[in-house]
Amino acid sequence: MSLQEHRQAIDRLDAEIVRLLNARTLQVLEIGEIKRKSGEEIYAPHREKAVLDKVCRLNDGPITDGSLRSIYREIMSSALALEKPLTIAYLGPEATYSHQAALKRFGNSLAYAAQKTIGDVFLEVAKSRADYGVIPIENSTEGAVTPTLDLLVDTELKIVAQIILPIQHCLVTHAAKLTTIRKLYVHPQTHAQCRLWIRQNLPETEIIETSSNARSAELAAGEKTSAAIAGLLAAEKYRLPVLEHDIQDNSANATRFVVLGRKVPPPTGADRTSILFSITDKAGALHSALAPFRRLKINMTKIESRPSKRKVWEYYFFADVDGHLAEKKLATAIQELGRHCSFVKVLGSYPNGD
């Protein structure tokens, strides 16, 4: 085939793709109408996971599975926006990693509302001013995000999905080389994640801590001899060239975000459940509380303690376990857990994986 013939073939395929996308969207809108009549949530993480897994199984290439998932993310995002104008609250300002995580989960077609604090994200969803909220819960290098854990204690909201975002810190600046940088704007947690690189490459630079990575980029954008450590989304927003990529000390650095909603999605067969509990103050209490999970062979992937703030020397435990609350084995384990605890709360069941 000649170049012109190849282009004509692409034109025909594009016409067919557009026709099929609209036909698919019409089916989605019909489903949305059924959901509204039955009171179901429009956003369905369990169905989303099934669709993405299915299209990857159907994929024979040359498109990679990652690219196919990105394409379908936007297809589903545009359909969601037509079903219902959803608003997603996230820890702002715009172009933070929380914003990036929200876009990764929900795509570019929905409305996004930046919030000043994690507590504000909870409030927006609780007051129904936002349909869902995206907040960080833990970093692979720095550990748990304690404000999130503390706020989960009292909320009636549920964790309905999770997002694993690889954190790729970049040095962004108008400066042409490292030796001309006089000031570095950096968020405290980002500073901790890039401490070795900063010490080796910018040992004499004045370090100024900021409220967010996006704020760091905003400040650096107005000064020729200043730099910021931020993500690519912030660099793009503030039109800052990237001088150095991937400067985090740990190449496997990632942050786990959770999506706050009102209803736990149905099981997918590969789920995670987050639990909060408080044990009585006596010897062996934690061992006894966790015994049902061992006996029923339920894998616990995480456990973390936090002061309860209600009583001196009383602690809450946050745990993640494999399985869904609707599954009999896990429901039994949680019921038995309650016999050894003064307080038990299921924070949510949601698809495991990203």
DSSP letters for 319-349: EEEES-TTSHHHHHHHHHHHTTEEEEEEEEE
Residues 193/249, Cβ–Cβ less than 8 Å: yes
Question: Mind listing the pLDDT tens digit for each residue in 31-52?
Answer: 988 988 888 888 888 888 889 9
Angle of the 65-83 helix axis to the 45-58 helix axis, nearest 10: 140
Q: Mean pLDDT in the chain?
A: 91
The CATH number of whichever domain residue 178 belongs to comes to 3.40.190.10
Better-predicted residue by pLDDT, 93 or 185 = 185
The CATH number of whichever domain residue 304 belongs to comes to 3.30.70.260
The whole-number pLDDT of residue 343 equals 87
The whole-number pLDDT of residue 130 equals 96
Domain end: 104, 123, 151, which one?
Answer: 151
Q: Looking at 257, 293, 317, 318, which residue is catalytic?
A: 257
- Together in a domain, 269 and 242: no
- Together in a domain, 283 and 344: yes
- Together in a domain, 199 and 243: yes
The whole-number pLDDT of residue 312 equals 62
Asked if residue 66 belongs to a domain, the reply is no
Structural domain that includes position 289: 264-351
Question: Mind listing the pLDDT tens digit for each residue in 88-133?
Answer: 999 988 999 999 999 999 999 999 999 999 999 999 999 999 999 9
Asked if residue 222 belongs to a domain, the reply is yes
The pLDDT of 165-178, averaged and rounded, is 94
Asked if residue 68 belongs to a domain, the reply is no
Least confident stretch, 26-30, 49-53, 308-312: 308-312
- Together in a domain, 174 and 221: yes
Domain end: 215, 232, 252, which one?
Answer: 252
- Together in a domain, 301 and 342: yes
What's the total number of domains in the chain?
Answer: 3
- Catalytic annotation on 64? no
Sequence-ordered strand ranges (E) for 201-337: 206-209, 226-230, 242-244, 254-261, 271-279, 300-307, 315-322
Q: What is the DSSP letter of 229?
A: E
Angle (nearest 5°) at CA 307 between 303 and 312: 140
Asked if residue 176 belongs to a domain, the reply is yes
Better-predicted residue by pLDDT, 142 or 2 = 2
Question: Mind listing the pLDDT tens digit for each residue in 234-284?
Answer: 999 999 999 999 999 988 889 999 999 999 999 998 999 999 998 877 777
- Together in a domain, 345 and 270: yes
- Confidence label for 354 from pLDDT (cuts 50, 70 and 90): low
Question: Mind listing the pLDDT tens digit for each residue in 312-333?
Answer: 667 889 999 999 999 999 999 9
Asked if residue 206 belongs to a domain, the reply is yes
Asked if residue 276 belongs to a domain, the reply is yes
- pLDDT reading at 71 higher than 90: yes
Asked if residue 18 belongs to a domain, the reply is no
- Catalytic annotation on 173? no
Q: Looking at 255, 277, 293, 318, which residue is catalytic?
A: 255
Domain end: 252, 275, 307, which one?
Answer: 252
